[in-house]
């Protein structure tokens, strides 16, 4: 079976929309960063040690790249079940 390129593109678009919605949902004060408080809302099991590890540049907040990296490392769970 061949993959219809139009359907494939639509799937990619939906995935991109989904991730943007997720980020907006997490970042409740809209500053573009995820504080410990915001992270706890999404990930109640998150510990301060995990947060500090995920905060790769040590500025005290998690940005989108740090979150993606932490999730890729299995440090922070993916949200969609």
Q: Is 73 in the site for Ca ion (CB under 5 A)?
A: no
Q: Is 43 in the site for Ca ion (CB under 5 A)?
A: no
Round to whole Å and give the CA distance between 12 and 48.
34
Closest separation between CB of residue 8 and Ca ion, Å? 33
Round to whole Å and give the CA distance between 75 and 54.
7
Residues 6+ away with beta carbon under 8 Å from 57 = 66
* Interface characters, 8-27, with Ca ion (x: CB under 5 A): -------------------x
Q: Contact residues for Ca ion (CB under 5 A)?
A: 27, 29, 31, 33, 55, 57, 59, 66
């Amino acid at each position: 079976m061949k993959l219809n390129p139009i359907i494939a593109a639509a799937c990619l678009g939906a995935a991109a929309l989904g991730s943007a919605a997720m980020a907006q949902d997490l970042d409740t004060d809209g500053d573009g960063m995820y504080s410990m408080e915001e992270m706890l809302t999404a990930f109640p099991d998150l510990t301060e040690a995990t947060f500090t590890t995920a905060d790769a540049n040590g500025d005290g907040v998690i940005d989108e790249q740090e979150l993606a990296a932490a999730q890729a490392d299995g440090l922070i769970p993916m949200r969609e079940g």
